[in-house]
Amino acid sequence: MELQIRHLSKTYSNGVKALDDVSLDIPKGMFGLLGPNGAGKSTLMRTIATLQEPDSGSITLGDLDVLRSKTEVRRRLGYLPQEFGVYPKISAYDMLDHIAILKGIGSHRRELVEELLKRVNLWDVRKKALGGFSGGMKQRFGIAQALIGDPQLIIVDEPTAGLDPGERNRFYNLLSEIGEQVIVILSTHIVEDVKELCPQMAIIDKGRVLFSGSPADALQGVHNRIWTSAVSRESMPSLVQELPVISTRMVAGQPVLHVYSEQQPADGFKVSEADLEDVFFTYIKGHKPAEQA
């Protein structure tokens, strides 16, 4: 089972081209869709989830034509949207039970709801109102509802925004467990999400796929081309003007410039071991690393 996206394009009525000829092959396991805000991630997620139409292109899930078999796709889909609204006064148990009824779960509903609450570690708070849940608890509840009905495809849109490090870790563990059996697409602007979880990934910006492959392939493409140097705050503005700077990171209060270059860009710069964040900014800044050129 694989999700195949071919030549998907979408321009909104205000003229914004949110998807520009997007093609991707998404296998079983966790797939990271990484892009800055406004890249087109939500548009792509909503299109795959059959909630909106593209202007052109096709999507298939196994032998299923996603854009033409919406009901069947929805039956096989678990979706955790960016804004996951809950009824604040209803308990986790009752809400999950209610969603299970809506999804057509008849027999074994009680067992299913109980099992899911345990699986996402909300069993102890199952009788508490959802309105009092933390961000992380709400996201774990969101995963529980997305898992009802044994989906083959799970879409989670920007799930870790606003979570504290502990909550984020619990959420990672939960997702990676699920990701072993089904296709899970994780859309995010947070590089760490992809680094921790995803054996396959894509980078998108301005509606276009800039890279698609494994994180290791992505790193290979910038190998020996990321140069770094700690610099003074005073010299920073002119260096940023002169050099192909991809990012500035603060290390112990001092700015460190990361530059993409085939040769040493200036005195004092050392070639450094690239990480996924370097890869991300290399593509976002419009460079074309070796393997992809």
- Residues interacting with ligand ADP, by CB under 6 A? 12, 14, 16, 18, 35, 37-43
Helix (H) or strand (E) holding 256: strand 254-260
**Least separation in angstroms between CB 130 and ligand ADP:** 25
**Least separation in angstroms between CB 204 and ligand ADP:** 7
**Least separation in angstroms between CB 261 and ligand ADP:** 28
Q: Is 89 exposed, middle or buried (0-12, 13-18, 19+ CB in 10 A)?
A: exposed
**Least separation in angstroms between CB 15 and ligand ADP:** 9
Closest CB to ligand ADP among 29 and 36? 36
CA–CA dist 174, 147 (Å, integer): 12
**Least separation in angstroms between CB 74 and ligand ADP:** 20
What lies within 8 Å, CB to CB, of 232 at 6+ separation is 255
Closest CB to ligand ADP among 43 and 228? 43
**Which tokens go with 137?**
């608890």
C-beta neighbour count of 140 within 10 angstroms: 22
Closest CB to ligand ADP among 39 and 137? 39
CA–CA dist 7, 14 (Å, integer): 21
Closest CB to ligand ADP among 15 and 166? 15
Let me know: does 132 contact 91? Beta carbons within 8 Å. no
Closest CB to ligand ADP among 3 and 18? 18
Q: Which residue has the tokens 């925004």?
A: 161
